[in-house]
Amino acid sequence: MRVILLIMIGLSTLYADFTKSGDIVKDNEINLEWQDNTEGSGMIWEVAITHCETLTLEGYSDWRLPNVNELRRIVDRSKFDPAIVTGFTNVSLKYYWSSSTYEGLKEKAWTVDFEYGRVSPRTKNSPYYVRCIRDGQ
């Protein structure tokens, strides 16, 4: 089941439609909007969650930290350095937090690095990057 889900995520990224307007990149296929500015670097997990929940960007204040499947959606495994879909201009090659806690160890959460598109659990008290998300209109 997990393999099928990963294949589906990979295929959906391949055919996804992303557009940029200001500091927001919109996933037109599933109507999500992504933060694409330089805020949100070097935060521990709990601060990352609070940061997204209190973020106001381009007049919107309903941001949240994406779950691991949403964050995987913007990975483009056909390239690296950065391994992210076209449309994003502010990308660190480091790890980005997801809101998804790692089931094996509750003190870890899933992260995605955008150098190679790797997904891995990291300790929640380590500082990583943040890319907030909101449901589009």
Please identify which residue in the block is written with the tokens 């204040």: 61
**All residues at 6 or more sequence positions from 89 whose CB lies less than 8 Å from its CB, including other chains:** 20, 36
Looking at the chain, the whole-number percentage of residues with pLDDT higher than 90 is 74
pLDDT given for residue 39 in this prediction? 73
Encode pLDDT of 54-105 as tens digits.
999 999 999 999 999 999 999 998 998 999 999 999 988 889 999 999 998 9
d(CA 55, CA 64): 8
Assigned architecture for domain 2-135 = Roll (3.10)
Tens of pLDDT along 32-47?
999 998 777 789 999 9
| Ordered DSSP codes for 23-52 | TEEEETTTTEEEE-SS---SB-HHHHHHHH
51-68 confidence digits (pLDDT tens):
999 999 999 999 999 999
Contact residues for 38 (Cβ-Cβ < 8 A; gap 6+): 90
Q: What is the pLDDT of residue 85?
A: 94
Residue 8's pLDDT band (cuts 50, 70, 90): very low
- At residue 71, the 3 state secondary structure works out as helix
Confidence at 134, pLDDT banded by 50, 70, 90? very high
d(CA 9, CA 87): 18
